[in-house]
Structure 1
């Protein structure tokens, strides 16, 4: 539990999101005609945006700057994951996929792509949620609370 209270924890939680630049795989597979663009474009571009922005967020957090960009980064990362999973499910192979697209997202249920929704997505969600909780806790430090009370009084 001590590691979560370490001031460098938010930076440690943001850095692994850099790996999400591999979201370009969704775009490549869609270009090969194996995934629907309605899923691959938002999922691929969203993952790439989060992955590219992670190295810019990490140094600021490592310096102890609880900068509002960290909040935006984590929210953007969570929204991307929700959108990607939702579109992947809706454009899937169920009895009535919505929207009706060809091809479907069936390749995401096969290895190696199946590792993304089964392991990478839950890990990324956990990192974002713990990071948000840590940022919230840091915002409630006694110095911050004292300044807020002084400003209100």
Structure 2
């Protein structure tokens, strides 16, 4: 039953977030469709690889495969934004309050705690990832509201750093607690086993890269705002 509910919530989070992000970008309809289709195909690929047990730590290709799936969107976005001014502009012109508020989906990190209670996750990974996501998600709307009013810049910096660090730590803990992985350091029952399989594998392979990109864009927007404010004071 939990997997059924998780599938509904995660698929909804992915679909709504992708459509919201493409809708917030200052791009034309054909570009918006292309981005949505590309994101959908990537999500389908991630789901297919998980269904084939290619993310499982005991599979020799598991760790490098899931690592590649997590890293590729990050690298591709960074490269595209670096060499294509249109991509960089599309990312940086999305409203910051919207990007912050999108993180409200992170309250679904409570699933990690439930999976741990059921004995399907173990060690520090579910506790760190679960509570980190919940805190980030709960604070997202208040921080977004302040940003909309042009207030709380210091809070936005702190919230954004915490939200990004939570994702980075979750990835690290997931990797070193994956049973059978050559990188395993933490041996704690099932470790991160549940997130190596559907539907929970959609979190590290689709949602985590998406939110890391969102955090990076927010950081850049905050930095530009600070530079602009400093220039006005000179």
Query: Are residue 12 (structure 1) and residue 122 (structure 2) matched?
Result: no
Show CA shifts across 1:63-113 (max 9, x none): 122520000011000110011110000000214621111122121110000
Query: Are residue 111 (structure 1) and residue 176 (structure 2) matched?
Result: no
SS at match of 2:121: coil
SS at match of 2:195: helix
Residues 5 and 64 of structure 1, relative CA distance in 2, 3 Å threshold: farther
User: In the alignment, what sits opposite 1:136?
Assistant: 223
Compute the displacement of 1:39 (Å): 0.9
Show CA shifts across 1:120-142 (max 9, x none): 0001100000001011111111x
User: In the alignment, what sits opposite 2:163?
Assistant: 77
Alignment counterpart, residue 89 of structure 1, candidates 172, 175, 181: 175
Compute the displacement of 1:3 (Å): 7.2
Query: Is the 2:176–2:184 contact (alpha carbons within 8 Å) kept by the matching residues of 1?
Result: yes
Give the CA RMSD over aligned residues. Answer: 1.6
Query: Are residue 21 (structure 1) and residue 112 (structure 2) matched?
Result: no
TM-score for the superposition, normalised by structure 1: 0.88
- Alpha-carbon distance between aligned partners in 2 of 1:146 and 1:72, rounded to the nearest angstrom: 24
Structure 2, gaps ≥5 residues long: 1-88
Compute the displacement of 1:146 (Å): 3.2
Residues 136 and 39 of structure 1, relative CA distance in 2, 3 Å threshold: same
Give the number of aligned pairs: 145
User: In the alignment, what sits opposite 1:126?
Assistant: 213
TM-score for the superposition, normalised by structure 2: 0.59
Residues 139 and 84 of structure 1, relative CA distance in 2, 3 Å threshold: same
Residues 115 and 140 of structure 1, relative CA distance in 2, 3 Å threshold: same
User: In the alignment, what sits opposite 2:146?
Assistant: 60
- Alpha-carbon distance between aligned partners in 1 of 2:187 and 2:145, rounded to the nearest angstrom: 43
Alignment counterpart, residue 99 of structure 1, candidates 165, 178, 186: 186
Compute the displacement of 1:4 (Å): 2.9
